[in-house]
Amino acid sequence: MAACMSWLPHLAVVTPLPAVAFGADYGEEVNPASQFKTKTIPDGIMPPLPDFGVLAENPLSRWDDQNLTLTTNVPILGNFLARMHLSNGYIGLAEASLGPFFEKDFNQTHRDGKQPTEPWPEFNPRQTFSGIIGFFDRQHNTTETNYPEPLDRGNESVISGIPHFTDIYVTVGEQVLNATVDLDTISNYSSSLNLMNATAHWSYT
């Protein structure tokens, strides 16, 4: 199965915040997973965490200054730091490393570890997110709160998502291409984000 996808949404690009470099040196002890941490005690089987730092010894991406394009040849599954983010200032979404798919984060250091969660105040499972500016919900209360009054009286409000509108499944025979594909089954991977014309492009076989 060959895949070559290019999505032209006519959206301005919101570039991800600079990522913190997570090296593979965990030291003697690592705190167990919580809503505040991304690392858990390694199980000895999972690969080391990728180093997203700009000055990493083996950079994960390269920048084309002439064409304003960021390109990577390293697919990284289930990690929010590896996703692309597109928005036009009103509507936007995050895209999985392998394409315009819905994706859930998974524990990066322990196969049986708990799924990472979003931070305060809801601590929901971390996954790709789509949203519209000014779109909030109203609910009785949130998991945590800044003020005791909303917790007592209800009517809390948080930013709300919409259905992940580019989520696709590509099926050929009994094979399915989505964000959970086994990386051993694909090759020649390339993914790029063009900040000049606001396009995301994926190519692999």
Domain spans in the chain, listed from the N-terminal domain onward: 61-203
For range 162-187, the mean pLDDT: 90
Per-residue pLDDT, 61: 94
The per-residue pLDDT for range 97-109, each reduced to its tens digit, is 999 999 999 888 8
CA atoms within 13 A on the CB side of 68: 8
> In which residue are the tokens 């950079």 written?
59
Q: Report the predicted TM-score, pTM, of the whole model to 2 decimal places.
A: 0.73
Answer with the residue of higher pLDDT: 200 or 36: 200
Q: Distance (Å, rounded) from C-alpha 156 to C-alpha 160? A: 12
For range 168-183, the mean pLDDT: 90
Per-residue pLDDT, 39: 56
Q: Pick the closest to residue 41 from 125, 91, 112 (CA basis).
A: 112
Residue 22 pLDDT level (bands cut at 50, 70, 90):
very low
Say yes or no to pLDDT of 25 above 50: no
Please write down the HEC assignment for all residues of 16-78: CCCCCCCCCCCCCCCCCCECCECCCCCCCCCCCCCCCCCCCCCCCEEEECCCCEEEECCCCCC
Structural element, H or E, at residue 153:
helix 148-153
Residues making up the chain, counted from first to last:
205
Q: Which amino acid is at 173?
A: G
Give the DSSP letter of residue 115. P
3-class secondary-structure state, position 121 = coil
The per-residue pLDDT for range 34-56, each reduced to its tens digit, is 554 555 666 778 888 888 888 88
Q: Distance (Å, rounded) from C-alpha 109 to C-alpha 48? A: 7
Say yes or no to pLDDT of 96 above 60: yes
Q: Quick one: what percent of the chain has pLDDT higher than 70?
A: 80
What does pLDDT average to over the chain?
81
Q: Distance (Å, rounded) from C-alpha 33 to C-alpha 106? A: 12
CA dihedral for 4, 69, 9, 158, sign (positive or negative): positive
3-class secondary-structure state, position 149 = helix
